[in-house]
């Protein structure tokens, strides 16, 4: 036989603290029993619902949990405003890692034993993107699966590692002077002073012809002159070609000094000059004479000299020693060491 009591309200009488039911109280899909409440839905209007001391469900739809929250799956987004996600150090692939991807392909974790932070990718390539300036992501670093690492500038590859080293697309520029390519790992002589290649430069220079080392009178520059140089580290290669020189270019008794050298000499150097003449008749001067350009230490001018002086020494070369009746060319080449630009 079944009994049924229908009431609008159940209240404890004065002096009675509880109302006890010997069996479950059920209504529809709701069930109140000794170990909890089973309901199809809970509707709390206008109030927050605390659950114990570690969780609260708010009437605006939010929730807060303190302590450890375990879940097999989460769908949606997490608002971490003013909050953090804290994970302990990971001791293996199965604990304290953030895993991303259907097959947990990407792991973010910290290793206590090495004190290193890690991003581990277990499938495909790993790309780190930056903003292209218009809000669109562009690959800046690409770590290819079992292959190269690429560094890009605005999506264009500039540096790529290879099985034998690295490959650069474009120019390699050092940020400040005194930096360069360091060869210190190579074998070297006992007297070595530096193994840093810190400069390369090539260009042209403007020769100025004078009749004295300093001061003096500047001669008219020949109309057809070529003057170039190449500098590698401290070594300078200098070239000068003068074409169409005439007999009257410089007066008799004039010694020739060439100024305007781009880098001064660290030591005294001699460079060999070659002269080639085309004649309209008459003498070319001393045909078997050796002509040299002398570059003194710390100077930026060349002094034309000739061999054949007393005891085989070099002596001043005068214009009448080499002038041509018609016209001719003079070419000088020199390699020397400088202490400038290093």
- The reported pTM is 0.65
Contact 271, 237 (CB under 8 A): no
Rounded alpha-carbon distances, angstroms, from residue 260 to 176, 207, 270, 300, 337:
27, 5, 17, 6, 16
Per-residue pLDDT, 278: 42
The residues spanned by each domain of the chain are 86-123, 126-168, 201-337
**237-252 as b/e, with b when 16 or more CB fall inside 10 Å?**
ebbbbbeebebebbee
Contact 165, 172 (CB under 8 A): no
Residue by residue, pLDDT tens for the chain (342 residues) are 566 666 666 666 666 666 666 666 666 666 666 666 666 666 655 667 777 777 888 777 777 777 777 777 777 777 778 878 888 899 888 888 888 888 899 999 999 888 899 999 999 999 999 988 888 889 999 999 999 999 999 889 999 999 999 999 999 888 888 888 888 888 888 888 888 888 999 999 999 999 988 899 998 888 889 999 999 999 999 999 888 777 777 877 888 899 999 999 888 777 766 655 443 344 444 444 577 888 888 888 888 887 765 555 678 888 877 666 666 678 888 899 998 866
Per-residue pLDDT, 5: 66
H or E element in which residue 276 lies:
strand 269-278
Per-residue pLDDT, 333: 87
């Amino acid at each position: 036989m079944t009994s049924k009591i229908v009431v609008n309200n159940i209240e404890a009488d004065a002096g009675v603290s509880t109302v006890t039911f010997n069996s479950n109280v059920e209504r529809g899909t709701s069930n109140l029993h000794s170990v909890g409440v089973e309901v199809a839905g809970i509707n709390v209007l206008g109030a927050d619902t605390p659950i114990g001391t570690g969780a609260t469900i708010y009437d605006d739809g939010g929730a807060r949990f303190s302590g450890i929250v375990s879940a097999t799956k989460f769908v949606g987004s997490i608002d971490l405003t003013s909050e953090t996600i804290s994970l302990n150090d990971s001791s293996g692939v199965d604990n304290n890692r953030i895993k991303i991807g259907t097959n947990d392909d990407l792991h973010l974790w910290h290793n206590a034993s090495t004190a290193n932070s890690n991003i581990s990718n277990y499938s495909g390539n790993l790309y780190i993107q930056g903003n292209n300036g218009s809000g669109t992501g562009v690959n800046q670093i690409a770590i290819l699966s079992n292959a190269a690492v690429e560094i890009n500038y605005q999506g264009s590859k500039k540096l790529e590692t290879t099985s034998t080293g690295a490959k650069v697309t474009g120019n390699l520029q050092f940020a400040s002077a005194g930096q360069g390519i360091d060869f210190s790992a190579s074998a070297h002589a006992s007297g070595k002073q530096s193994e840093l290649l810190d400069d390369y430069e090539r260009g042209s220079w403007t020769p100025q012809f004078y009749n004295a080392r300093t001061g003096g009178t500047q001669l008219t520059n020949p109309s057809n002159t070529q003057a170039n140089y190449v500098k590698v580290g401290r070594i300078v290669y200098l070239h000068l070609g003068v074409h169409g020189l005439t007999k009257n270019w410089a007066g008799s008794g004039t010694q020739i000094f060439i100024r305007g050298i781009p880098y001064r000499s660290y030591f005294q150097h001699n460079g060999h000059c070659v002269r080639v003449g085309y004649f309209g008749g008459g003498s070319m001067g001393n045909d078997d004479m050796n002509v040299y350009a002398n570059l003194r230490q710390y100077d930026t001018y060349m002094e034309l000299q000739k061999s054949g002086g007393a005891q085989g020494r070099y002596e001043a070369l005068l214009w009448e020693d080499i002038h041509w009746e018609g016209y001719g060319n003079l070419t000088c080449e020199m390699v020397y060491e400088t202490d400038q630009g290093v």
